Amino acid sequence: MAATDGAVTEVEWQFNAVDVRPVARWLDQAVLPGVTIAPAGIKRLNDAYFDTASWRMHRAGYTCRLRWDGTRGELTLKSMADPDEGIRTREEVNQGISDPAPESFVSQPGPAVDMLAPLIGREPLRLLFALETERRLYNVADAEGTFGEIALDTTTIPVGDEDHPVRLSRVEVEVPAEGVDRARAFVSLLAAEASLSSSGTSKFEAALLATGLHPEPAFHDLGPTDIHADQTIGEVAFAILRRQFAIVVANEAGTRLGRDIEELHDMRVAARRMRAAMSQFRPYLSTTARALEPEIRWLQRALGPVRDLDVQIEHLDQVLAGPMEQRDDLIPYRDLLIAQRDRERKRLLTALDSRRYRRLVERFAALLPRGPARTYVPGRVAAPIVARDTVVARRRKLRKLGDRISRASAPEEYHAARIEAKKLRYAVEFFEPIYGRRAAEFATAVKQLQDVLGDHQDAMVAMETLRRHAQVSRKLPPATILAMGAMAEGYRLEAAELRSRFPRAYKALTGRTWRRLQERLDERAAGLPDPRKEQVERRPAAGSSKFGGQGDENVDMHGQAS
């Protein structure tokens, strides 16, 4: 079907054919009650597919195709999707192009380039392969009108030996989304009469196989990610970092694209968990590993502003969807937030395109497969010992803050408790594979407390944001300022209600769920050797020579061999 600039949804059946000529004869001769099949011409298509050297388009789940007829072209970004009951449903974004050179069309304004540019960043596009297709078209109609387009494609895929290219014969039936049920019976008949088999691969995937191209993963094996009681704390820390780093990299493409706010959320949470792990396990990580903590903190901060605005806009949309009388008055405020998010997205994309981010990914990808340094004594402490010490200490810090909180406490006190609750939850979840159900139950209780505190903080931030925008923005009309005041009052009432829920959520930290976990923490740690204490005992006596045979190796103040 003819494409136009912008986004459309493509719905089609794809079939393999040994030869499309028998299919064409059947279509030319078929007489079907209530169905009309009409030839619609023959096209010759020249398609070039592009991606970056690091396969950014592929990792984002899209193909980048340029269709060129010699004088003008069309750039199409198409989502990749597996067939569902023989039907592929894919989003495609199209844009007219006046110059086929990648270095030129990536700067031509339009919907496809607007989507392409953030995905590829500063990486240039490279040609993957070029396909030549002869396409014979038919329109299919019933009493209600045209409901589909049939394409009989014979595609040539150049490979290493240009004298023997790979040829691919396909039959595709494209229909509008609302025409699937109308077309289903006809498509079943076509497949049966023409002996067609459903295709499991798209043309793009078939061309990858034919040309021997293999999309490279973002990184190769980072090492084991399983966690169990027999490991050292260094091994556990690296397993956690590997898990979270994989999530960070897996969500980079979606974060760049900006279509699904949950991908940025997942990337930010993973970065936050990496930072939490590096902070909690700092005494047990080598100098090389600890040196990366400021970099992951920088990434977390770079991701934060856009995510915060996503949350504010999402909350505002919920208000706009409700019965509030001043809905229309709030639209200018929403436009202001959207503009602010667009500015922050540009800053985020600049960060993701920076050399600092590339170096962060490269350094973690090099460090994590190596695992913890075997010569670093603190990293050899048994994980259950550190688990007990860490969880108990985190809970004690939270109790110290939480015991002082009342409904009259300042928002800053609730926020400080929220931060400590988050750290406690992460600590428990990090070791959950070792302690199983008892850890999971306590983590759930802490999460419920964290949710109350987090929602309270979101309400306070929203109030402050509304107040700040109302004071400094001269573009907002008076009616909008009044509606924002009503919203702020709603957040104030919500914060008050959340403070009333705090005592009950907080009580879970001292109940049976905690006592059961504490028992298991003590059981697992009991009797395990602690190499830190052994090293202290083996240190030379004061005044003795370090060459005096007081130990097998010399240890510096951090427990490292010198």
The predicted pLDDT at position 560 comes to 39
Q: What is the pLDDT of residue 331?
A: 92
pLDDT of residue 323: 75
Domain 6-211 falls under CATH 2.40.320.10: yes
* The two structure tokens encoding residue 447: 């999460």
Q: Give the pLDDT confidence score for residue 70 in this predicted structure.
A: 82
- Looking at residue 454, its pLDDT comes to 95
Q: Where are the alpha helices (DSSP H) in 321-410?
A: 331-352, 355-367, 383-402
Per-residue pLDDT of 461-474, as tens digits, reads 999 999 988 887 77
pTM above 0.95, yes or no: no
List, for residues 240-253, the tens digit of each pLDDT value. 999 999 999 999 99
User: Rounded to whole angstroms, how far apart are CA atoms 255 and 247?
Assistant: 12
Residue 546 has pLDDT above 70, yes or no: no
Residue indicated by tokens 């496809």? 112
Q: Give the DSSP letter of residue 364.
A: H
The tens digit of pLDDT for each residue in 391-408 reads 999 999 999 999 999 989
Q: What is the pLDDT of residue 538?
A: 54
Domain(s) of CATH 2.40.320.10: residues in the chain: 6-211
**Tell me, what's the pLDDT at 557?**
32
pLDDT at 508 over 90: no
Q: Which pair of tokens denotes residue 519?
A: 């028992």
How many whole angstroms separate alpha carbon 194 and alpha carbon 143?
24
Determine if residue 223 is left, alpha or beta; phi over 0 gives left, psi from -120 to 50 gives alpha, anything else beta: left
Token pair of 220, please? 């190769």
Mean pLDDT of 83-103: 91
Coil/strand/helix, residue 407: coil
- pLDDT greater than 70 at residue 17: yes
Q: How far apart are CA 232 and CA 386, in angstroms?
A: 9
Q: Which residues lie closer than 8 Å to 5 by C-beta, 6 or more apart?
A: 94, 95, 96, 110, 111
Whether residue 218 contacts residue 59, with contact meaning beta carbons closer than 8 Å, is answered with yes
The pLDDT assigned to 558 comes to 37
Where are the domain boundaries for CATH 1.40.20.10 in the chain? Answer: 233-525
**pLDDT band (50, 70, 90) for residue 158:** confident
- CATH fourth-level superfamily of 233-525: CHAD domain (1.40.20.10)
- Residue 409 φ/ψ, nearest 5 degrees: -65, 155
User: Which burial class, exposed, middle or buried, applies to 337 when counting CB atoms under 10 A from its CB (0-12, 13-18, 19+)?
Assistant: middle
The mean pLDDT of 210-227, rounded to a whole number, is: 89
**Over residues 80-88, mean pLDDT:** 87
Amino acid at 378: P
More confident residue, 170 or 81: 170
